[in-house]
Every structure is written in C-alpha cells, then in structure tokens.
Amino acid sequence: MQSSNPVLNRSSAFAPGQGQAYPGAAPYGQPGQPGQYGYGGPGTPPQQYQGAPAGARPMTMDDVIVRTAATLGVVVAVAAIAWNTIPTDLVTPAFLGGALLAFVLGLVLSFSRKVNPALVMVYAAAEGVFLGIGSKFIASYVGDSGIIVQAILATMVTAGLTLATYKYFAIKVTPRFTKMVILATMGFAGVILINFIASLFGFNSGIGGFGAMGLLFAAIGAGLAVFNLILDFDMIEQGVRHGAPQNEAWRAAFGLTVTLVWLYWNLLRILAILRGSD
C-alpha cells in the first residue's frame, strides 16, 4: 500500500515486511529469532535494541509528533517574521522566491531516499516566507487579520477531526481508495501548475482568484488534503507498527507538514472568499 504523499513513498520503511530497523534486525513487522527482533514482535524485550547504531532505534509516534511540531514551528516563526519585516517593494519577489524554493526543496526531499533534517528545516523556512506574505495579502484583502487565526484554528480542528475519524471509526485505507486519492491529487496539482504557467502569459481562469471558481478549487484542494491526511496517518501508523528506523520520523514530519500547509492555505482562501462575498 502506498501513500499519495510522495515523501512517504520513497521509503520502504512505511511498508510492512520490508527493510530493517538496523543491520542484523529482522525485517519490519516480522518476528525475529533471539537477538533479531522485528519491531512489535511477540515477546520482544525492552532492551532488544541495545547496541543498535545511534538513531537507528524504531520510530515511535512521539518521534513523529516532536519532529512535526518542530517543522511546523519553523513555518509559523518564519511566517511571522516575513509578515512583519519584509518591505513592500520586496513582497512580490520574496513571495515568488519562497514559493519556488519550497517547491524545489519539496521535490528534492520527496525523491530522496534519506531525508536530511537540515533540508527539511530550510524547506519549512521557505514555506514560512510564502505563507507569511500570502497570509498578509489575504488579510489585507478582507480587511481583517483575524482571519489568519480562524484559518489556523480551522486547520487544527480539521486535522484533529480527521485523525479522530480515522482512529475511532477504524477507517480502512484500501488500495482502491489510495489509488483514487493519488490520481485526484495528481490531477489537481497538474491543473494548478498549468494555471500558474498560463497566468504568467496573462491568462486568468479564476482558479487562483477570489470568485466562484476560486472557491470551488479551494474546496476541492481542502478535501483532497483531508484525504491525504488519512492516507498519511495510515502509512505512519504502519511505519511505527512495523519498526521503521527513528530517522524516518523526519520523513513523516515533512510529509505531514506538506499536507497541513496545503490544508491551511485552502481553508484560508475559502474563508477569505466567503468573507469577501458578504
């Protein structure tokens, strides 16, 4: 089973029965012989990973939470700095530069077999510049900076409800569901990219605007982000259950950050469009 998030797809650590927690360990999810325990195997003693290389112990959910919090913290901190310090004459180049750098680093990290934590933080900083300037523009558009707080709260509530629904209603992530989300996400991203390129030549489809078309695509984007969260929660849970190495928590954190930023941006646009139509 694969996640629609390409970040998690690059590592076999998020698929059961593949890889090793450290050299000499049993493959993820497979019970080992004495001295070779698969993570979560029956009768596994707490000291099973003594002697493993530093940082090679199995990933835990706490590892993912801590690293995701750190990555999102950088996004928020840099966004606040960009909002308050970037001068007006540098807003446009900083906005485009942040978006371009985040896009390029996102691709690099997505296709890397091993995620570099420092590069993840640089990505988070670039994303922060993009979101800080973009959020300030939208706040100016509606004439109320309080919309940013509303969008952040809406993102937190939506992500929390998605996680609760996934856990407590025992949502089964089937291959068919995964394939549908992957195809829909790729199609949506393709339309957005084509629209962006077309806008550079003066064509305005309204997809990125604040009209009815913009509202429709923002709603579709938010919905796809929710579906991606479900797939990512499932893949991370598999990684923890089957003994992915600790350093894979950075990959999981980056993947969640990408999806949560995408969710926030679309919810912010929805709120702005609805507010502007009052």
pLDDT tens figures, 84-97: 999 988 998 999 89
How many other CB atoms are there within 10 angstroms of residue 35's CB atom?
A: 10
Confirm if 71 and 121 have CB atoms less than 8 A apart: yes
Written as six digits, the tokens of 134 are 């973009």
State the pLDDT at residue 51: 42
Q: Kindly report the CA angle at 254 between 182 and 180, in degrees rounded to 5?
A: 10
**Cα dist. 242→12, 27, 152, 164 in Å?**
11, 8, 33, 22
How many residues would you count in the chain?
278
State the pLDDT at residue 83: 95
Chain centroid to CA 228: 9
SS3 4: coil
Residue 262 falls inside a structural domain: yes
Residue 175: closest CA among 111, 262, 234:
234
Task: Please state at what angle helix 212-241 crosses helix 175-199, rounded to 10 degrees.
Answer: 140
Residue 160 falls inside a structural domain: yes
State the pLDDT at residue 55: 53
Residue 236 falls inside a structural domain: yes
- Structural domain including 230 reads 57-276
Residue 251: closest CA among 87, 111, 125:
111
Residue 229 falls inside a structural domain: yes
Residue 14 falls inside a structural domain: no
Residue 21 falls inside a structural domain: no
State the pLDDT at residue 14: 60
How far is Cα 236 from Cα 252, in angstroms, rounded to an integer?
Answer: 7
**Cα dist. 142→98, 132, 198 in Å?**
23, 16, 26
Beta bridge partners of 20: 27
State the pLDDT at residue 235: 86
Written as six digits, the tokens of 235 are 């893949």
Written as six digits, the tokens of 146 are 């309080």
How far is Cα 161 from Cα 194, in angstroms, rounded to an integer?
Answer: 32
Residue 37 falls inside a structural domain: no
- HSE-CB at 132 with a 13 A cutoff on CA atoms is 25
What is the number of domains present in the chain? 1
How many other CB atoms are there within 10 angstroms of residue 274's CB atom?
A: 14
> Mind listing the pLDDT tens digit of every residue in the chain (278 residues)?
344 454 555 555 565 444 433 333 333 333 333 333 333 333 333 344 444 454 568 889 999 999 999 999 999 999 999 999 999 889 989 998 998 899 899 889 988 888 899 999 999 999 999 999 999 999 998 998 999 999 999 999 999 999 999 988 878 888 899 899 989 998 998 888 888 788 778 787 888 888 889 999 999 999 999 999 999 999 899 889 888 888 899 999 999 999 999 999 999 999 999 987 55
How far is Cα 191 from Cα 122, in angstroms, rounded to an integer?
Answer: 27
The residues, ordered by sequence, that sit 6+ positions from 85 with a Cβ below 8 Å of its Cβ are none
Residue 126 falls inside a structural domain: yes
SS3 49: helix
